[in-house]
Amino acid sequence: MEDAHFCRNCGAPRQGSAGKVAEAPPLMEAEGGSARLLQGGGLYLQALVFFGSRWFRLHILVLLVTLVIKILWFQYPQGWVEGELALLLCYWAVQRMQNSAGCFGNRAESSSSIGCFLALSAVLVLIVGYFSALQVYVLQIEFALGLLSLALLIGQLLLASIAGLVFSSRARDTVLVLLGGSAAVAAVVVALVFDFGEKWSKEQLQSALSVGLFLGVGSMALAATAGAMVVVSDI
């Protein structure tokens, strides 16, 4: 019987044999411009989400400190202190959910999760816009930090929208991403009006807050829908 070309003990090819070790195929081969865009865009999105989670925590901490200082220094209308503290708590909670949705959606290439991320980002944009321009007393540092947070959110929205569309494999997924992106764009427009609009009258302020509240509630409903689709698809 002819000797085997490979060692029976270790599996290595014998010297002088014609046996060849088959090369393992690569796990994934990026083909075409969309794959290269996905690979690079996903990395940048992950970096922005990671950096954003740290930055937004710092922003929340600064807002909390300045709010305490303003409470001690200025006279607030009745009920506004509690309202702004509650909004700060919402800022923290929504940011945690947004960060989780973004990390999962990017790593798992889940367009539904990216849609949830975009919808939650719309809520964050509105909250940031409020604290940078519409709260009872706005300090210069709060305005500056608000603009930086808004710029970071816009970068996240751009990369997440591209990634979500690339990840989409069904019409339902594409619709979720488009709806989330549309809500986020609308929130950015509203926030920019908050930040750079002229001096607000009482009626204009109430109208602006009503628009922001309506858009925020709608975005939260969209985020809940997208999150439910993520859960259902995993069952």
Say if 8 falls within a structural domain.
no
Burial label, 196 (beta-carbon count in 10 A; 0-12, 13-18, 19+): exposed
Residue 28 lies in a domain: no
Query: What share of the chain in percent tops pLDDT 90?
Result: 40
Output the CA angle 201-86-47, nearest 5 degrees: 100
Does 19 map to a domain? no
pLDDT digits (tens, 9 = 90+) for 104-134: 888 888 888 999 999 999 999 999 999 998 8
pLDDT at 28: 38
Residues of the chain with pLDDT under 50: 1-6, 8-12, 17-41
Q: Is residue 56 part of a domain?
A: yes
Q: Give dist(CA 137, CA 180) in Å, integer.
A: 31
Q: Please check whether residue 201 lies inside any domain of the structure.
A: yes
| CA 40/CA 18 separation, integer angstroms | 42
pLDDT tens profile 166-201: 888 888 888 989 999 999 999 999 888 877 766 666
79 lies in a domain?
Answer: yes
- Which helix (H) or strand (E) segment is 86 a member of? helix 80-108
Domain membership of residue 183 (yes or no) is yes
Neighbours of 53 (CB within 10 A): 16
Helical H runs in 130-201? 140-167, 171-196
Q: What is the domain count for the chain? A: 1
Question: In angstroms, what CA-CA distances link 99 with 36, 47, 91, 179?
Answer: 24, 11, 12, 19
Residue 209 is predicted with a pLDDT of: 78
Report the pLDDT value the prediction gives residue 40, as an integer from 0 to 100.
45
Residue 27 within any structural domain of the chain: no
Number of H-type helices and E-type strands within the chain: 6, 0
**Owning domain of residue 74:** 36-234
- Please enumerate in sequence order all residues whose Cβ is within 8 A of that of 108, keeping only pairs 6 or more positions apart, or say none: none
